[in-house]
Amino acid sequence: MAATITVDDLAARVHMARRTFVRRFRNETGTSPMAWLTDARIDRARELLEATTEPIERIGRLTGLGNPTSVRAAFHRRVGTSPQEYRALFRQKARADVTA
């Protein structure tokens, strides 16, 4: 996840031309390769926010989302909240589940 990955890298890995790879990927998943990768990275960031106390800077490096500004922007577009708010809400919910 943390590595820089391009569509050309993915296409080369499966021995396809870039355009063929993008077309087939979109037909199979309904989205572009980079949108899919960003979603996977955000899902991993959510897991890290839920299970660790890692700072946003480290989460950005671990997931490949980049610097804190990029992490916040991508997270907000997908989840609709900031990483800090997500972590706080998740922790509140977890505490409520434990006491229930």
Contacts for 22 with CB less than 8 Å, ≥ 6 apart: 7, 11, 32, 33
The pLDDT tens digits of the residues spanning 44-100 come to 999 999 999 999 999 999 999 999 999 999 999 999 999 999 999 888 776 777 666
Determine the pLDDT at residue 96. 74
Listing DSSP states for 42-64 in one string gives HHHHHHHHHH----HHHHHHHHT
